[in-house]
Amino acid sequence: MLIGKTGQLGSSILAEQTTHQIYAPGRAELDIESKDSCERAIAEFRPDVVINTAAFHNVPQCEVEPLRAFAVNCQSVRDLALACNKSNTLFVTFSTDYVFGGEKKTPYREDERTKPLQMYGISRLAGELAATAISPRHAVVIRTCGLYGLSGAISKGGNFVDKRIADAQTSSVIEMGCDQIVSPTYTGNLAQAVLKLIEHPQLVPGIYHLVNEGECNWFEFTQAIYEMMKISVKVNPIDRGGMSGEMRRPLYSVLANTKARELGIILPHWRNALQLYLNKKYGAAAGK
């Protein structure tokens, strides 16, 4: 069962799977903010695996609506974990690099201390704890970072890559932050890795990091977009010190894929992933 079929990641999982029968209920069939709805859907369909890609991931809006952030990112995860635990079902849910504080300069492993800096990260960490505490034998939490996919993120009005290409249509000079170092991740690659992970015979419940390899800041990522698209735009780096207004973001949130790597699951480098995305989305315009 796949929850969140219209989102960037959910739609990518639907597109990448070829061997599984997937039940992907819409909101009218499954309301993740209703415990009864979660229990009823899982009891009726009796899935082998529940993949939850739904989240409230508009980071600034989480500061404005913290109760809704916790309702979607924690309470609904708890309810799904309870239902999966009751039915002996593997439960896969997602989290974020924003559970970390960004003090490091080397990639964060799955077992390192968390320290979220804003309501989004706090609510996602709470969801992680709820899932692994309630269903320790069935819950798999996948942390990832900087997602962009073919469908775009509805709550954010698209994705980072497409927005930068749109910027180039109206501006010859743009400013882009150079303070945050991340692992931008293409949902097509992530979806493939998720499907490999849940099928792996040596999968052990717990927390996993799945991101495209390598690291960059958003300024460097933007430059790569324009380079691959052969777009002439001047990009000026801006150091905001991790601040978005009064909200803090981690300065360094690169994730180390250590546990999945041991199972032979490794995503491509972020530059290769970006080129693949651009080829799929823009075809001949993407440097061909």
C-alpha–C-alpha distance, residues 89 and 42, integer Å: 9
For 129, the token pair is 């704890």
**209: Cα separation from own chain's centroid:** 10
Parallel, antiparallel or unpaired: strands 147-148 and 185-186: parallel
Query: Which residue in this structure is represented by tokens 């000026």?
Result: 236
Eight-class DSSP state of 113: P
* Strands annotated E in the chain: 2-3, 49-52, 90-96, 139-144, 147-148, 173-177, 181-182, 185-186, 206-209, 216-217, 234-238, 243-244, 247-248
For 213, the token pair is 């390899």
> Would you say 38 and 80 are in contact if contact means Cβ atoms under 8 Å apart?
yes
C-alpha–C-alpha distance, residues 70 and 31, integer Å: 15
Given the residues 98, 120, 148, 208, the one annotated as active site: 120
Catalytic status, residue 120 = yes
For 245, the token pair is 């207004």
Q: Kindly report the number of other CB atoms within 10 A of residue 103's CB atom.
A: 10
C-alpha–C-alpha distance, residues 188 and 273, integer Å: 9
What Rg do the C-alpha atoms of the chain give, in angstroms? 19
Give the closest residue to 103 by CA, choosing from 216, 248, 210, 211: 248
For 214, the token pair is 């390598």
Residues designated as active site: 120
